[in-house]
Amino acid sequence: MSITSLRDALVASLCVLVYSLYQIRRRNKLPSPPGPPGWPIIKNTLTIPLVNAHKYYKDLGAKLGSKILYLEALGQSMLIINDISIAQELLEKRSTLYSSRPGIPMLNQVVGLPIYFGFMPYGNYWRAHRRLFTQHFAEKHLARDQERATEFIRKGLLANILESPDAFDEHVRNCIGGIAVSITYGLPIQRKRDPLVRFSEETFAQSTATAAPSRFLVNIIPALRHVPDWMPGASFKQMAKSLRADLIKILDEPFNATVKMMENGTAPACFIANTLEKHRDDPDYEAQALYAKQTAGMIFAAVSETTVTALNTFVLGMLQRPDVMKKAQKEVDQVVGTHRLPEVSDMPHLHYLSAVVKETLRWNPVAPMGVPHCTSEDDVYNGYYIPKGCAVFANAYAMLYDDDMFPNPSEFKPERFIGEDGRMRDDLPDPEIVVTFGFGRRICPGAHIARSTLFMAAASLLHLFNITYAVDEHGKEIKVEPQFKQASIVAEPLPFKCKITPRAGRDVKALLKEYMGTDTI
């Protein structure tokens, strides 16, 4: 290298160094976004809520007059976003910086099974899992999964409700869980109380709860993972041991059952069978098989828990607004008639029901705080400094309960999505498209399946049944006050009673005749 070239290289390096130091100094002088005052060292650790965090942060934002909030807990920085446009700016337009995930000590270290690709940090390992999911469940294959879901709705939901309407919640869980197991493993499902569905639901509900940042203190104070099992307050470690054993079982047993069916030539088309067959001759087949097994767990966790919550919320909404139910039933009758069941092809023509589904997802955001993103580099937004490694939460509850966009947000009001001309408003965020299923590169890849299943289940229920308040022994209606609990990432309606009866003048038995009497689906 010549002296001139060396000199130029040194000058360029010096310029880069000076600029970098300038940027560091500049950013260190920038303020953090508004947030509550904290204590020395522990900062906001003692003020971070373990329940209903979404409501706390919405109220805190209103109190501080800011749509973004900044907190710290023993060195972990947290950014709360209460505004859709800010979430889109950071999580979508700046997705290269905001697409990773923060560490989840309870799931990754204490349970010791970082198996859900939805919780994995951004990188090749995550891409390998998500690629398998999107290849099989791409929107171009939606018709295949809609057909399977429709069969389950008719056999596993409608027929069961007709036979035992009081067990509605149980039927919903078995039906939706059955859809997830069927499209994933291709295994036959018992029409009622399937043991695999029940065990899967319980196990994955516990595992997703471990990922909820406010559910376990160890997710806020990672050092707690080192406390001995025998110490008071360390019950979470015993729970983790039990959960680990259950997770290994639920990942291995249905996977092995599908592999056995493949060997016998009896495996139906499903995620595991199709994926393993596609990669059978690949040199990295063992790695692909492991990715498929782990991705399968994410399918059940994502499809089942969220769709069950949304469908139960829909029923609760019908209880609150019988006039909405009747109007939606009238529309379904006009499109479908009385002598057949709703089909997927009817969906584009059910405009009012579409508004009802949107309001269902807005009224109770299924994942009110979402799954946190994580910054991979320092960033600056609107003059505020956001550090690398910051956990970023998109507060769906605050966004969908914004009084300016959705006046009286606690009311179930589908009409808010319909303009004076009778068409869907385009000046409001659509909960079927934005917020509900996440943002940017981390948006739920199975959202189209969940939306379609919810819509078909809602249309089918309204076509055949009336949903009213249950009555006590004196014939008095048992009113239901809408309440939602957040036991994990998902916020479910508190258990409620309702009365589901066949609609007058509707021969429900005849319409469901071919779907009743079967033990398996």
- Whether the CA torsion 256, 261, 265, 268 is positive or negative: it is negative
Query: Measured between alpha carbons, how far is 236 from 50 in angstroms, rounded to an integer?
Result: 14
Q: What is the pLDDT of residue 14?
A: 43
Query: Measured between alpha carbons, how far is 180 from 94 in angstroms, rounded to an integer?
Result: 33
Q: What is the pLDDT of residue 218?
A: 87
Q: What is the pLDDT of residue 2?
A: 44
Q: How many CB atoms lie within 10 A of CB 507?
A: 13
Q: What is the pLDDT of residue 262?
A: 98
Residue numbers of the chain with a pLDDT score lower than 50: 1-26
3-state SS of the chain: helix, strand, coil percent to 5?
Answer: 55, 10, 35
What are the residues facing 393 on neighbouring strands? Answer: 80
What are 110-115's contacts with CB under 8 Å, separation 24+? Answer: 110/210, 110/218, 110/225, 110/236, 110/237, 110/240, 111/207, 111/210, 111/240, 111/243, 111/244, 111/247, 112/240, 112/244, 113/207, 113/244, 113/247, 113/248, 115/247, 115/251, 115/294, 115/297, 115/298
The SS3 of residue 104 is: coil
Query: Measured between alpha carbons, how far is 153 from 456 in angstroms, rounded to an integer?
Result: 8
Instruction: Kindly list the distances between the CA atom of residue 96 and the CA atoms of 27, 123, 219, 279, 472, in Å, as whole numbers in the listed order.
Output: 19, 11, 25, 30, 57
313 contacts 364 by C-beta, under 8 angstroms:
yes
Report if pTM > 0.75: yes
Binding site listing: 444
Binding site listing for heme: 444
**pLDDT digits 0-9 by tens, 234-280:** 889 999 999 999 999 999 999 999 999 999 999 999 999 999 999 99
157 contacts 171 by C-beta, under 8 angstroms:
yes
What is the DSSP secondary structure assignment for residue 154, as one 8-state letter?
I
Instruction: Kindly list the distances between the CA atom of residue 359 and the CA atoms of 39, 82, 118, 246, 257, in Å, as whole numbers in the listed order.
Output: 41, 19, 26, 36, 40
